[in-house]
Amino acid sequence: MTSLDDVIRVAASGNSDALEWLFQKYLPLLKSLQHRYYLRLYDYDDWCQEARLICYHSAQQYDHNSHLSFGRFYQMQLQHHIINLIRRQLAQKRQVDRLQIPVEQVDLENAYLKKSLLRPLPSDWAAINCDLMQYWQSLSQFEQRVMLLVLESTELSAIAKQIACTESQANCAIARCRTKLRRYLYQGSS
């Protein structure tokens, strides 16, 4: 391989060594574009994979008789591809993708104390049911009656009326239920 044109032709024919040589030659171009643009959830390997693919396509499409150098042609192709990826990430119908949390960013040790990021597996349901039964049994009969009405989304005034107590007593019972639940969940997670 004596000239850049020869390397480009060989890379375009599918030679992986020539393609890798071409990719490495223009790696600084990729790094400069990587600093200029942000692709959500893309790591360095993802950027390299995209750049290699575009390098291969650029080698196939490059017009050797053009006044444009291969480096400039590849830069334009790669830049357009990155902009298309960004456009796709920002598209309205893909708004949900922006809400995804990479697995590496999930704090598994503290996820139980926060709003759980993980759904229980079917095998966990038996343990959860057992835990809930123990929590339920820790409540007084009065607290159980109040809690049932709270779970039905009954308003405080209606709870007080149905159980024949004051709103203050019902409110205190709700607070005790919450406190016991927090304490129970905290003890269960340690």
Query: Distance (Å, rounded) from C-alpha 161 to C-alpha 54?
Result: 71
Sign of CA pseudo-dihedral 33, 36, 37, 38: positive
Query: Distance (Å, rounded) from C-alpha 109 to C-alpha 111?
Result: 6
Does the pTM surpass 0.85? The reply is no
Q: Which residue has the tokens 């809690």?
A: 147
Using the predicted structure, report yes or no on whether residue 54 has a pLDDT greater than 80: yes
Task: State the pLDDT at residue 117.
Answer: 46
Query: Distance (Å, rounded) from C-alpha 54 to C-alpha 57?
Result: 5
Residues of the chain with pLDDT > 70: what percent?
75
Task: State the pLDDT at residue 89.
Answer: 79
Task: State the pLDDT at residue 122.
Answer: 57
CATH, domain 122-189, list 1.10.10, 2.60.120, 3.20.20, 1.10.287? 1.10.10
Using the predicted structure, report yes or no on whether residue 105 has a pLDDT greater than 80: no
- pLDDT tens digits, one per residue of 131-147: 677 778 889 999 999 98
Region at 69 (left for phi over 0; alpha for psi -120 to 50; beta for the rest): beta
Using the predicted structure, report yes or no on whether residue 78 has a pLDDT greater than 80: yes
Q: Decide if 31 contacts 71 (C-beta within 8 A).
A: no
